[in-house]
Amino acid sequence: MSVQSETSVLAFTRENRAATVQIQERNMGGALVIVTIAPRQTGELPAIQAAPLRQ
């Protein structure tokens, strides 16, 4: 059994950095590639505050 998606996500870590690569399928055989690189999180995660979306 295989699963196909319009978006593929790859995650990498090395020393004190983390990177994600997102590949999104586009029309006409192209793709949108988004690369995010950031310092690697250490210690306790910060609290996240969220508000409801307005309609």
pLDDT tens string 4-53? 788 899 999 888 888 999 999 888 878 899 999 998 766 666 666 666 76
- Answer yes or no: are the C-beta atoms of 6 and 24 closer than 8 Å: yes
For the chain, the domains span 7-39
pTM above 0.75, yes or no: no
Which of 23, 27, 53, 25 is closest to 35 using CA atoms?
Answer: 23
Structure tokens at 32: 């949108």
25: phi then psi, degrees, rounded to nearest 5 = -65, 140
User: Residue 32 in 3-state DSSP?
Assistant: strand
Cα–Cα distance between 50 and 55 in angstroms, integer?
Answer: 16
pLDDT at 55 over 60: no
Bridge partners of 48, per DSSP, are none
